[in-house]
Structure 1
């Protein structure tokens, strides 16, 4: 979701800021976070014209989010690269400490190629971390997949594959279930905004705006579930909403401002230590 699409869920039709606005639900998850924490402009793609430069793409950007370093260190600079084990995702680091963690996506490439070494590691160590390609069913043999083995393919398969994965409702339902199950860390990647951008144009089309509004609505359901856990179980949650890249026209991957600019919304206020390198 491009940063300049944020007003779709932060402002009303008269371009006036409401307490919490979404044209579908009248409540914005992102706006809720802004009220208690903040929205921060960020960037992807590494530092241009240096060894850290990487594509403004899904795999490279999410892996940088999850590890805290650029692809020059974690190994994923394009969608076709595999992450090394020198820099683990934060979900894996906490799983090694005994916390129950979950990471879900509806894109097989991320599990079968980009994070395959982490899947192997989690399987070998029997760690409490769940990888889930939410629309993947368990298979008896490998067909049309980049997975190295049938065991790895099935390790990322959903127990009950979602038939609504392309529309992000499947992701919402998966996250709600993991929160209800009591997982300590739940991470899900909503993908339909990116799909709308590729099909209709990033930031300019009616379809893109609708995808943004819908995703914010699903995120609000997740936020409500977290608020209920905080109330009922006396828990305290850190909530982070973020995007992986922007877009220009119907694509992304290059180093334009529109493609590099991203954002992060949290329910906690960032202080100076979060900006240190």
Structure 2
């Protein structure tokens, strides 16, 4: 009798668990992997993650991709999807505010004020494609507002996402690059290389919004994930990777 009851409880729990397809901006990959694991432990639901650039996810959603939740690298893309009737407008919220960092995998290359950009003692500067990646657009904001010489622009190499820009620097194919602070910060500190955390007034704010896509309507896991992202457990992980939050 006891075994039957346990089997029944297991079956009920399994029936209630669900999966959600999540499109995740590349800068948020590391914290989201930890959040997804915590989410599954707490709720039983499973978040299946696809990592990429926000601009490409936008195009894929328009073409019918089966994502149910979008965690964008900006606030414009979710708003646009809602305006186009492809997402639930009332579900949109800012889950994090990102920080941009000039980073080198080598110690002593990047100074604490970013003067290396003016000294031009490097061959390649990696950024994400500013046409599709908000962090790439932010990098171009910095270059413009700092009035850097044209020689710096000539040394830029573009990755299709902030993830690829990070790989260029991590592998040494670029001496330095503008990447997301979350990609180099673990437990509140930068563990490797040298870095300059770019002052927020040098680029457009990197407000990152989450939204429920129409394909996720009625999916218990999708709704639960968006709620989980607002909670203390998720926020602790997000904060440890260098993100900030909007003032309440």
Q: Same fold (TM over 0.5)?
A: no
Q: Which structure has more RCO (C-alpha within 8 Å, separation ≥ 6)?
A: 2
TM-score where L is the length of structure 1: 0.24
Q: Highest Rg: 1 or 2?
A: 2
TM-score where L is the length of structure 2: 0.26
